[in-house]
Amino acid sequence: MRPDHSVLSRLAASALAIALFATACGGSSDTGLLATAATPEGGDIVLAQPTADAATDSGATSQDVDTDTADATTTDDAAQTEASDPGPTPTVALPPGAIEFLRPEVIATYPHDITAYTQGLEVMDGQLLESTGRQGHPDGDVVYESDVRRIDIDTGEVVQRADAPGTVFGEGLTRVGDELIQITWQDQRAFWWDAETFEFLREVSYEGQGWGLCYDGDRLVMTDGSENLYFRDPATFELIGRISVTQSGTPIASLNELECIDGKVWANVYRTDFIVRIDPETGFVDGIVDASALEQPRVTPTEVLNGIAWDAETATWLVTGKFWPTMYRVRFISDGVTN
């Protein structure tokens, strides 16, 4: 069954949105980069432009879309079914080199603490864990606002929190068994917390910046604002591997908050509304979520989408941003596949 015209339109619109994003941000077609900009947390924003073939395939000649995949993931009927039933696992089988375009379908919204400069987000037993990190300058003095917190999802209430030690800029957070691991931006310190009591357990030093963190059941996966995923031992934090992330051959930098699910790594790209799905064995991006529909009013340009957490019990995502007043529960709905 071929995808219907509305699916094709959405697929084309997704590609167009990315192309427009490139234009708005001054991306260079010569380099294949969609966007570059300096960021306060270091690194550049880079989202790769699909290759000419892929861009063409996503539009006028999208009859080439793999019909089996499209039938399974992109029909309106399928989307409606997914809205009422437990959703699919977030990973679909794609032809080699294909990129799936996705968009969020909002299922529910909840309050989110507007003083939380969200850096990490993870679901644990139906509750939400969040890490924050910031250096504020309210009266000229530097104030460090970095903590770990447990959130009642429905109310947004912070039911438990603990300040990160010392003067650090907290970043990503993930759970490994009964413990939480929190990293820091430029402080080169990783903290271990008891996941139940939030008791501070220990810390390990590392080299470089820390941005996002997730645990795939075997390895920690970490970002530092570059195009790299770093793999670390979950017990010692020892660096055990690294891979460069590319989309259609172009490195994708500013990889930030992470989620590890079903053998894939999902990363929101700093200062964009895009979330990319990465094969950690190859570094290839095989899915792009355009989450711009979740965009919030922003006082400063840094109040960006940052925080993605997979809730396995409901097969949904929780997504928010820095200082955002809203936490979204969403599913990512396929808009089609290029190949």
Which residues are at the interface with Ca ion (CB under 5 A)?
121-122, 259, 309
If the CB atoms of residues 180 and 337 are measured against Ca ion, the closer one turns out to be 180
If the CB atoms of residues 327 and 337 are measured against Ca ion, the closer one turns out to be 327
If the CB atoms of residues 99 and 309 are measured against Ca ion, the closer one turns out to be 309
CB of 63 to Ca ion, least distance (A): 37
CB of 122 to Ca ion, least distance (A): 5
CB of 232 to Ca ion, least distance (A): 16
Which residue is at the shortest CB distance from Ca ion?
259
CB of 173 to Ca ion, least distance (A): 7
If the CB atoms of residues 8 and 252 are measured against Ca ion, the closer one turns out to be 252
If the CB atoms of residues 66 and 273 are measured against Ca ion, the closer one turns out to be 273
CB of 213 to Ca ion, least distance (A): 8
Let me know: does 34 contact 25? Beta carbons within 8 Å.
yes
If the CB atoms of residues 250 and 268 are measured against Ca ion, the closer one turns out to be 268
CB of 175 to Ca ion, least distance (A): 10
- CA 198 to chain CA mean position, Å: 25
CB of 309 to Ca ion, least distance (A): 5
If the CB atoms of residues 276 and 309 are measured against Ca ion, the closer one turns out to be 309
Q: What whole-number distance in Å separates Cα of residue 327 and Cα of residue 2?
A: 35
